[in-house]
Amino acid sequence: MKRDLSVPRHVAIVMDGNGRWAKKRYLPRFFGHKAGVDTLVKVINACADHGIEYLTVFAFSSENWKRPEDEVSGLMGLVLVAVTKYLAKLARDGVKIVIVGDRNSVPDRLRAAWAEAEQATAHNTRITQSVAFNSGGRWDVVQACRQAVADGLKPEQITEASLSGYMAMRHAPDPDLFIRTGGEVRISNFLLWQVAYSELVFTDCLWPDFDVAALEAALAVYAGRERRFGAVSTLPFEASSG
């Protein structure tokens, strides 16, 4: 069956705005992150229902260690809570979970929870949910180069294709659509290598409020974009201008 090109194959999301969502309700920031996990579970299923094959979210960046200690430990603990609360459901829903990021320097209990989530869902094929944790675009380029050098690649063997094979996201095609919630208009070091030709959509919606309608609005914006990958437009002048 031919794929519907107006639907992205891979969507990447920066789930921003959890802290502000909690603040608006006079709650500690942690409650925003907790609500964010519930939103994520709904969005994973909505993406799968729309035929999206890969969803990648930024859950904890290499730079998030700069946050207050209690928020950092809260986010680490939230992964354990999320695995306990949702792993069985996600496994049943056909979701394959892949964790991308630097596994050194995260607590042992977290590493074990990730391994459990990956093992329990390894056979699933409905949608691949990658969770970027202790991860960042620059970290990924550096770790890929280090591995290539350690493998003995000669300078002329270092190409876009060979380096892509060392990237943490090598299991997925590049994202077609990049969404950032929460009103900021930046990439914040998320998947730098892979978003080279992604369509970018920014929304003021705070992540815990990002529902199926908000996802569908972003998908409609994507469907209206003309992707050229550096080439010239193939549309007639009237259709491509304005």
Q: Would you count residue 82 as binding ligand FPP (CB under 6 A)?
A: yes
Q: Which residue blocks in 96-229 are alpha helix, DSSP H?
A: 108-121, 137-150, 160-164, 212-223
Binding marks (x or -) toward ligand FPP, 156..185, rule CB under 6 A?
Answer: --------------------------x---
Q: Which helix (H) or strand (E) holds 79?
A: helix 69-92
Report, in Å, the least distance between residue 23 CB and ligand FPP: 7
Q: Is 141 helix (H, G, I), strand (E, B) or coil?
A: helix
117 touches ligand FPP (CB under 6 A): no
Contacts of residues 216-219 at CB distance under 8 Å and 24 or more positions apart, as own/partner, are 216/50, 218/177, 218/179, 219/7, 219/8, 219/50, 219/177
For the bound state, the minimum distance from the C-beta of residue 2 to ligand FPP, rounded and expressed in Å, comes to: 33
Tokens, residue 71: 């928020």
Whole-angstrom Cα distance, residue 166 to residue 37?
Answer: 29
Residues linked to residue 128 through DSSP beta bridges, in sequence order: 54, 96
Q: Is 11 in the site for ligand FPP (CB under 6 A)?
A: no
Among 79, 106, 132, 172, binds ligand FPP (CB under 6 A): 79
Q: What's the CA angle centered on 180, arms 182 and 138, to 5 degrees?
A: 120
Q: Given the rule CB under 6 A, which of 36-44, 146-154, 192-200, 212-220 is the region that contacts ligand FPP? A: 36-44
Catalytic residues: 16, 64
Cα torsion through 63, 64, 69, 71, rounded to 10:
170
**91 belongs to the binding site for ligand FPP (CB under 6 A):** no
The amino acid present at 72, given as its one-letter code, is V
Of 59 and 163, CB closest to ligand FPP: 59
Query: Could you say whether residue 90 binds ligand FPP (CB under 6 A)?
Result: no
Min. distance of Cβ 39 from ligand FPP in angstroms? 7
Span near ligand FPP by CB under 6 A; candidates 11-19, 148-156, 191-199, 228-236: 11-19
State the residues that interact with ligand FPP by CB under 6 A: 15-20, 33, 36-37, 40, 59, 64, 78-79, 82, 131, 182
